[in-house]
Every structure is written in C-alpha cells, then in structure tokens.
Structure 1
Amino acid sequence: MVELQTIWKKHQYFAKASTAFIYGILVAIAMNFFWDPGKIYASGITGLAQLISTLTARTGFIHLSTALMIFVLNVPLFFLAWKQIGHRFTIFTFLAVIFSSIMIKTLSPVTLTNDPIICAIFGGAVNGFGTGTALKNGISTGGLDILGLTIRKKTGKSIGTINIIFNAMIVIAAGAVYGWPYAFYSALGLLVNAKVMDMVYTRQQKMQVMIITDKPKSVIDCIQNHIRRGITIVHDAEGAYYHDNKTILFTVISRYEQPELKKAMEESDPKAFVSIAENVKILGRFYEPEP
C-alpha cells in the first residue's frame, strides 16, 4: 500500500511538471505568435512585464525583455507563496513561471498576422487554454494568482476588484503606448482569455444537485467516498405517481466533480432521479481542496 501511494505521488508530480511545461509552450505561442506581432498586452504580471519591456526598449539605454521581467516580477511572489500557501504549490508555480520565461525567450517568433483583432482573439484563446489547464491540474501560473490565493486564505475574500483595476491599468497603458484602438484590442484579448480559461478550468463552477432516491444510505455513502461534500437529507417525501416513499438529498458540487457524482450514482442507485442546476451562487463555506 505504501509503495502504491509513493508511485501515485510520483505520477502526480510528473503530471504537474509536464503541465507546467505545456503551459510554458502555450504562453510562449500566445506571446511570440500573436501578442507581440499584434501589439496586444496580456493580463496581470505578464502584461506588466510586456509594458516594462516596451518602455525600456524605447529608452535605448537598457532593454529588459518580457521573458526576464515575467520571472523577476514573480520572485517576491514566490517568497509569499512559500510562506503563506505551501512549499509544493510554490515549487510547481516556480516551474510554470520558469518554463514560460524560457520558452518565450527560446521559441522563435513567427508573425502569422499583424491584424490586432485576430492577434487579440487567438492570443487570448491560447493563453486562456494554457492557464485553465494549469489551474485544472492544481498549478498556479504565478502573478496575481498567488496574491489572490493568499488574500482568500487569510480573509476569505477574492481580489476581483484588484484584478479589474490592475488589468484596466494594463489596457490604458496599451492605449498610451500604441494608440487608443490598441487599448480596445487588448481588452478584447483579456475577455477571450478569461472566457476560455473559465471553459477549461471548471473547478470554480458550482452546481446544485437534487437526488430523489429510495436508497439514501447507499447513495450518501457512495457519494462521500467519491467526493468530499456535505449532503442535506429530506425524509418522508412522496412520489405523486405511485405514492411511494422517497428521500430527497441536496448537495452542491463543482463542475469538475460531476463525473465522480455520475460514477457514484451508477454504483449506488442507477434508477434515482437526479436534477442538476448549474452556476449556483454559494453563501457560506464551500470546501475547496488545498492547492
């Protein structure tokens, strides 16, 4: 048993490291094939790194590359993550950032098009897919993710407002440097990036599940063996057609956990009636696994 657990952990670590490498390739494609040719700024720390690179290149005194600045700007956040979030989390975040910096520097730029709209859409889509895949596999891509997780861990609050303000500054900077139409192109890229990331990273999407069954104990045990979720039980329900006794179970899961719920229902009560409402809003504590 101990050997199996060791092998499983090694497999997980290898999968996370591989995902970090894939993320590095995807962000490099977004940067070198779309954002730079289209003069589009990314979101968060990556966008700030692009801005610093652009401004230093114009001074003619020293040019700090985007790849270098992505790493440098993340260094203080690595220390924050190591202290406040966790060592394993920090190690894989470091890998994601270092791979992205290396791949941006080494992957030869290819100008597929200079059309800023096409560059904004496809750059945002490629980066959103990479970021969503990283998050889905339990890896942070650095930057504001670390700050957000730290604040949420300490206060329970998100940094949605900080993200909006930070990215608004990036968009304004794009307009000031390249012309105001490019501010709108960058905003379009940010929107596409966010939408694709949400499509890929389903862990944050909540779903309310109602189960009507005559085998409540079996269903509850099986669900809780598959996923860590609380369940509310409503006894003495009655079916309107046959007037037989039923039990109603309520729980809330993430979209990421939906396949596990389906497996649990197939094992415990395949004839149960299951209703799922998507994108519900949660007030109160909802368990989320540690990163």
Structure 2
Amino acid sequence: MPAPFLIPTEYRQSHTPFEDAQGFAIALLTTATGIVFISSLGFITGQTAGLALIIAYVTGWSFGTVFFLVNLPFYAFAWKRLGAEFTLKSFFCVTALSLLADYIPLGLQFEYLNPILGTAIFGVLTGYGLLGVFRHKGSLGGLGVIALMVQDRTGFRAGYVQLIVDAVLFAVAYFLFDTRTVLYSLFGAVILNTVIAFNHRRDRYIAD
C-alpha cells in the first residue's frame, strides 16, 4: 500500500488507546472500501496492494490472503528500524484490512460502476483512509515502510516516493494487462498519492 509519513519522535499530545482504536477503525474501513471499488473494476493500484491485486487476479486467491502474506517479510525490517509500537500497529492494520477487503464485498456489490468514477472514489477514500492510519502511528506495511524512511531521512515526500515506485509497477503491469486497465489504474493511483502528498506534511501537522 502507499507509504506512510514517518511519525516524529516528539508529540504535542499522545493519542489515547481509545482514540487510536476509533481512528484505525474509521481509517481501515475507508481504505478497505476503496480497495473494493478498484478490485470490483478489475483494476490495480500501486505499492504492496497493487502487487497483491495482481497476484490475486492471476492465482484466483483472495486479495486479503495475498496482501497479508506479501507483507510478512517487512515486519522484521520495520521492527529493527522503526520500533515495536509502529510494527505492531502496522501488523494489526494489515490484518484488519485483509479481512475487511475480503468481507465487505459480501454486503457491497455493484451492478454497474463507471470506471472513471470508481477509480476516483478509490483514490480519495483510500488516500484519506491511509492518512488516518499514518496519523495514529501505523502503516499498511510493505514498500510503504521504505518510502516512510526516505521521507524521514531526506524530506522527500512519501507520496512522491510512491509515484516513482508505482511508475515501475505500472510499467510491468503494461505487459500483463490491457492498456485500458493500466491507464484507469494509473489514474486512481495518481489521485491516491496526490491526496497523501498534499495532506500529510510535517510543517502543517504533527502526528500524535
């Protein structure tokens, strides 16, 4: 999934456990709903979620199962470099998203979904859902951990790091999917990453 913003080590006021719980609940429900929109159209996205969607389409496995599995190798890296709290919260978020993305479609299905509208809704919902995850010191794991560290060490925004990685992913996807699917998917990814790049800034918000 798209990269989180590296949380500063100093905070104005820490979130309480209840605030974290409600923040994650809202953010993950929003993010998972966005995933349902894009997967219902048969499109992909960037980062780890995009990789999971591609594998799910090819193998027939559920997105939730693949997303959970592909994130497993990153936890050791996150634990060593970003600490126990971040890693445990990320593990919780990945697990919850995996379950929600598989079970929400049981109650939310589309007879018709316009591809432009669907990808735009995906980008906005998932982008703002991810912001909520980041601001409660969590992430959705995967390549996002690397982009998070790049932003913290260099100041280069995580959203722009995502765009670069996504460009590589979509270049590969071009050889696996038809041009229409790739272009619509890229449209959704640009919206998602733009939401993060414009709204998650250390000079405007200190996460707590």
Match of 2:122 in 1: 123
Q: Tell me which amino acid in the other structure corresponds to 1:28.
A: A
Q: In the alignment, residue 134 of structure 1 is paired with which amino acid?
A: V
Specify the alignment match of 2:88 in structure 1.
91
Aligned with 1:106 (options 103, 106, 130): 103
User: For the Cα contact (< 8 Å) 2:159–2:197, is it kept in 1?
Assistant: no
Sort the Cα spacing of 1:173 and 1:39 in 2 relative to 1 into closer, same or farther, 3 A: farther
Larger radius of gyration: 1
Q: Normalising to structure 2: TM-score of the pair?
A: 0.79
Higher helix share: 2
Higher relative contact order (CA 8 A, sep 6+): 2
Kindly state the Cα deviation for residue 152 of structure 1 after the two structures are TM-superposed.
5.7
CA distance in 1, matches of 2:115, 2:176: 14
**Following the alignment from structure 1 to structure 2, what is the Cα–Cα distance between the partners of residues 105 and 28?**
9
Aligned residues: 193
**2:55 alignment partner in structure 1:** 52
Q: For 2:134 and 2:71, locate their aligned partners in 1 and report how far apart those are by CA, in whole Å.
A: 17
Give the corresponding residue for 1:190: 189
Equivalent position SS for 2:139? coil
Q: Is the 1:77–1:147 contact (alpha carbons within 8 Å) kept by the matching residues of 2? A: no
Distance 1:162 1:192 in 2: 14
Partner of 1:65: 62
Determine if the alignment matches structure 1 residue 77 to structure 2 residue 74: yes
**What amino acid does structure 1 have at the position aligned with 2:55?**
I
1:16 is the counterpart of 2:13 = no
Matches of 2:180 and 2:120, distance apart in 1: 15
Aligned in 2, Cα 1:198/1:152: closer, same or farther, shift over 3 Å?
Answer: closer
Where do 5+ consecutive residues of structure 2 fail to align?
Answer: 1-12
Q: CA deviation at 1:156?
A: 4.3
Q: TM-score, normalised by structure 1?
A: 0.59
- The residue type equivalent to 1:124 in the other structure is G
CA drift of 1:157 comes to 7.0
Query: How does 1:21-36 map onto structure 2 within 5 Å?
Result: 21-32=25-36, 34-36=37-39
Instruction: Find the aligned partners of 2:185 and 2:90 in 1 and give their Cα distance.
Output: 25
Shift of 1:80: 0.8
| Contact kept? 1:42, 1:189, Cα under 8 Å | yes
2:146 maps to: 147
C-alpha distance 84-95 of structure 1, shift in aligned 2 (>3 A): same
Map 1:166-181; keep pairs closer than 5 Å. Answer: 166-181=165-180
Read off the aligned partner of 1:181 and give its amino acid letter.
R
Q: Higher strand fraction: Structure 1 or Structure 2?
A: 1
| Identity over aligned pairs, percent | 23
Residue in 2 aligned with 1:261? none
**Post-superposition offset of 1:27:** 2.0
> How far apart in 2 are the matches of 1:163 and 1:255?
20
Unmatched tracts of structure 1, length 5 or more:
1-7, 58-63, 205-253, 258-288
Is the 1:68–1:101 Cα contact (8 Å) retained in structure 2? yes
CA–CA distance in structure 2, aligned partners of residues 141 and 186 of structure 1: 19
1:167 and 1:50 map into 2 onto residues whose CA distance is 14
Q: Contact between 2:131 and 2:196, CA under 8 Å: does it hold in 1?
A: yes
Distance 2:74 2:145 in 1: 7
1:255 is aligned to 204
Q: Judge conservation of contact 2:24–2:132 (CA < 8 Å) in 1.
A: no
